Amino acid sequence: MAGIQISRQGMHRIVVCLLTAMGLLICEADMVQAASDDGVGDLAGARTVRLYTEDFPPFNFWAGERLKGVGADIIHEMARLLDHDGAVEILPWKRVMMAVRENPYTAAFSTVRIPEREEEFKWVGPIATVQTWLYQSYDSPFHLVTIEDARKVNALGVQAGGAAERSLTQMGFDNLSALHNPDNALRLLLAGRIDAWEAADAVFKYQLDELGVDAKQVRPTVNLGKYELYLAFSPQTPDEAILPWQHALEQLHASGMFGAIQRRYGLTPVMSHLEITD
């Protein structure tokens, strides 16, 4: 049987490919080793943290048998660097918030950081930043220019247990329609079941694409500002068990992985504060 002959040029290409692949593996191994050996915090405690989220695209959602989304992908990579098992429990958002408020060594993503929640959690992030709007159908009879104008609509759709429901309730809004399945919000808006909808721009675009709706049918009316999404830890979780998660996020920034994940979902990469707030 004739032997396979490889030219000198071909052999050079094979060697280059092998060295490149080895370099990538060594780089990844170094990142994992650094997360384990740099003495930052309580790594054993960090690995016991129970992770919670909701099914809410494009931040966290099931695709086949895998949890995906900008928040889910960031947390998955952080967990990998810590040698955490990466297990995530998916619950309705109100139950997620309850679980993390009441139990030590727990954390929730992707959690909007607002003043009303500031003292209730310890924060690592942001893991994503979005702009938030009130959306209306183009044929809506209500003319909204400011958030105060939204008091006159019959039903203002907000995520049940979400940041907007809490903030607007504290502002005295009594016309909120709590959406326990926020994935269906755009459909409800177009059907006239709600008169306005509070949503992040990324959520709006995702639902627009999923339903195949012409963007001209819906308009953003009131800009509610920027929402920063975090990994929120229970207040009972020791800082030492949170520090490795913070350090892992810093490594994702340094390696370029953080920016790559943001761009994968059409978001603009942002720098993390890299702080723990009690």
pLDDT value, residue 275: 52
Residue 57, domain member (yes or no) = yes
Range of the domain at 71: 41-128+229-264
Assess whether 191 and 233 both reside in one domain.
no
pLDDT value, residue 248: 98
pLDDT value, residue 109: 98
Residue 248, domain member (yes or no) = yes
- One-character DSSP codes across the chain: -PPP---HHHHHHHHHHHHHHHHHHHHHHHHHHHHHHS--S-HHHHHTPEEEE--BTTTBEEETTEEESHHHHHHHHHHHHHT----EEE--HHHHHHHHHHSSSEEEEEEE--GGGTTTSEEEEEEEEEEEEEEEETT-S---SSGGGGGGSS-EEEETTSHHHHHHHHTT---EEEES-GGGHHHHHHTTS-SEEEEEHHHHHHHHHHHT--GGGEEEEEEEEEEEEEEEEPTTS-HHHHHHHHHHHHHHHHHTHHHHHHHHTTPPP---------
Assess whether 99 and 237 both reside in one domain.
yes
Cβ count within 10 A of residue 16: 10
Nearest C-alpha neighbor of 60 from the set 79, 73, 77, 50: 73
Half-sphere exposure of 146 (CA within 13 A, CB side): 1
Contact 227, 218 (CB under 8 A): no
Residues in the chain: 278
Assess whether 134 and 60 both reside in one domain.
no
What does the pLDDT look like over 144-192, one tens digit per residue?
Answer: 999 999 999 999 999 999 999 999 999 999 999 999 999 999 999 999 9
What proportion of the chain, given as a percentage, has pLDDT over 90?
A: 79
Assess whether 45 and 169 both reside in one domain.
no
Assess whether 58 and 169 both reside in one domain.
no
Res 27 pLDDT > 80: no
Assess whether 123 and 255 both reside in one domain.
yes
Sign, CA dihedral 272-275-277-278, equals positive
Assess whether 63 and 194 both reside in one domain.
no
We report the CATH number of the domain holding residue 247 as: 3.40.190.10
Residue 35, domain member (yes or no) = no
Instruction: Give the type of residue at 130.
Output: V
Cα–Cα dist 268/278, whole Å:
28
Residue 17, domain member (yes or no) = no
Pairing state of beta strands 156-159 and 176-179?
parallel
Residue 4, domain member (yes or no) = no
Nearest C-alpha neighbor of 259 from the set 158, 150, 127, 163: 127
Assess whether 90 and 76 both reside in one domain.
yes
Residue 253, domain member (yes or no) = yes
Question: Who wins on pLDDT, 29 or 82?
Answer: 82
Name the token pair of 138: 């183009």
Assess whether 114 and 163 both reside in one domain.
no
Whether omega for the bond prior to residue 58 falls within 30 degrees of 0, making it cis, is yes
Cα–Cα dist 141/110, whole Å:
34
Cα–Cα dist 193/155, whole Å:
8
Residue 36, domain member (yes or no) = no
Pick from 181, 211, 227: which residue ends a domain? Answer: 227
Assess whether 179 and 221 both reside in one domain.
yes
Domain count, the chain: 2
What does the pLDDT look like over 222-253, one tens digit per residue?
Answer: 999 999 999 999 999 999 999 999 999 999 99
What does the pLDDT look like over 32-60, one tens digit per residue?
Answer: 444 444 557 899 999 999 999 999 999 99
Assess whether 71 and 110 both reside in one domain.
yes
Residue 2, domain member (yes or no) = no
Assess whether 105 and 164 both reside in one domain.
no
